[in-house]
Chains A and B, each alone.
Chain A
């Protein structure tokens, strides 16, 4: 806790204002928007995994759920404000129920991984099979593997005719990410966040101190899902279509790769990892020499083997050693990820 809270907020605001101003000069805002959205999605997993020790193999489920909730609600309601709120709430409630089931059953590690992965698959399979006309929610046809196109996209609250798209939409997404980032910062500085880190480090001890570990993990899990849901809704607006691929295992894998590459246990890492890798994928998509799935896979393997802490912590400690800060900063220990030794 080197810096005070207000310093932290100031630095965040200044840096993000500069990035929001500078980046559109280099990359098109259309591409940037999706990088920002992926950054938010990365942050959602980075929060629950890096600070809560909950490895979720199905973060894509909440992302997809947010996107679908938005699309279905927008078709039925015809404006975007309430659908945005629902897109945050529905995944959060879903995650709270799922989390309560898992954490009160004291499931950890592999079992958590299996269940989150399986739940993602259930959603994927189910949504994929809803091509028939009988699958309708209100006025919205689920559309199966074709997805749902043609829903009302983001509008100025209260005025369904005033669409927000193009450059302004990028600024909306970027500001949303900054706000989420600040909220996460605040959360981690609060007692709740510090207790969550305690639980990541040693669940048994926290239980013996009198903390209801299962309840706290459930809440944290739901918060992560809410952020993922918001990212999903923003993504739906960006793509103007939602498809079952949002729920796919590949999507879940990518979120995990972002966090590993960026660095767990940091707030910046997952965002940097997400935006960086998504941009890399975008660049790779422009050529056909090398398959980009292969590149992503290779990156994941290499990071797990050689730089399991991720880029951001590694760069930070490199800078520290170069500039020889004499601050007593103990060597950051590798986070306990595996429980079986």
Chain B
């Protein structure tokens, strides 16, 4: 009983962290058809923003949930204006340019913070369930993720901005014809996407030692989760994160964490091979 509870939490955590890692990339890709390969570095910067803010005496939750998203969102805004804006519609070129940006950010972080591991301790203590120790912070991540998904759904469904966003997602030319400047929509989208990346990086920072190259660990997972999810933003994100989370946690328990990671990647290859349009291109068509 205790074991199954622990496993349930671990699986939920696995899924939640995938959703969290991928949300920023999914927003940017879903809305703008831009693959931001610097996404992992945005997360890394979210982590550093948090650590720096905490070092300056800011409350850790304020640092994670407010400061990091804002800082990274602003960096994203600058990046969009300087680079991405010139490459809209050129999918491969944006991938290459953002890959270049990811290297730039790694270099900058190395010069500023040095090539050493830094970190902060988890602000929530663990607790025991029967004979097992459960990491309390994992609950926090699960809750943050659930709140995030609900918030995204509410914004897209319930607000005027969400309506415009959904319109742009489906037919950006029509949205433009109706008088909504795609330039501004893209700018806002990229800001939101970057902020989400920053948030994810910040929330996950206490769990991992942070180095300038930390982003590399996230980008591949985020990339495959988003691509495998397919055209529907939220349904795609949740469905592909769930499938990959289940697969990787299963193999993690059955064999080892490394095999879990490898199984996740192999599952991605198989999934893309069988469903090149992504999960929501095949099922949940036309959902959010």
Question: With A and B bound together, what is the CA distance between A121 and B92 in angstroms?
Answer: 20
Chain B residues touching A, majority SS: helix
Answer yes or no: A202 CB below 8 A from chain B CBs: no
Interface string of B96-108 (1 = CB under 8 A from A): 1101111111111
Query: How many chain B residues touch the partner (CB < 8 A)?
Result: 41
Given known contacts A109-B92, A110-B35, A293-B106, A117 and B220 CB-to-CB distance under 8 angstroms: yes
The bracket for how many chain A residues form the interface is 35 or more
Answer yes or no: A136 CB below 8 A from chain B CBs: no
Chain B residues with Cβ below 8 Å from A297 are 99-107
- B96 contacts A260, C-beta separation under 8 Å: yes
Q: Quick one: which of A270-301 are within 8 Å of B by CB? A: 290-301
Nearest A residue to B226 via CB reads: A114
Given known contacts A111-B272, A118-B224, A293-B106, A308 and B93 CB-to-CB distance under 8 angstroms: yes
Answer yes or no: B3 CB below 8 A from chain A CBs: no
Q: How far is the CB of B88 from chain A (nearest CB, A)?
A: 10
Chain B residues with Cβ below 8 Å from A293 are 103-104, 106-107, 110
Q: How far is the CB of A25 from chain B (nearest CB, A)?
A: 33
Q: How far is the CB of B286 from chain A (nearest CB, A)?
A: 20
Answer yes or no: A61 CB below 8 A from chain B CBs: no
Q: How far is the CB of A200 from chain B (nearest CB, A)?
A: 13
Q: Quick one: which of A98-114 are within 8 Å of B by CB? A: 101-102, 105-107, 109-111, 113-114
Name which of A113, A297, A308 has the most chain B CB atoms within 10 A of its CB: A297
Q: Quick one: which of A110-128 are within 8 Å of B by CB? A: 110-111, 113-115, 117-119, 121-122, 125-126, 128
- B227 contacts A111, C-beta separation under 8 Å: yes
- B96 contacts A114, C-beta separation under 8 Å: no
Q: Quick one: which of A1-29 are within 8 Å of B by CB? A: none
Question: With A and B bound together, what is the CA distance between A337 and B91 in angstroms?
Answer: 9
Question: With A and B bound together, what is the CA distance between A7 and B207 in angstroms?
Answer: 62
Q: How far is the CB of A105 from chain B (nearest CB, A)?
A: 5
Question: With A and B bound together, what is the CA distance between A296 and B106 in angstroms?
Answer: 11
Given known contacts A249-B216, A340-B91, A300 and B262 CB-to-CB distance under 8 angstroms: no
> What are 9 contact pairs spanning A and B, CB under 8 A?
A55-B92, A121-B220, A122-B262, A249-B220, A260-B96, A293-B104, A298-B104, A304-B97, A338-B90
Binding site for B on A (CB under 8 A): 55, 101-102, 105-107, 109-111, 113-115, 117-119, 121-122, 125-126, 128-129, 249-250, 253, 256-257, 260, 290-301, 304-305, 308, 337-341
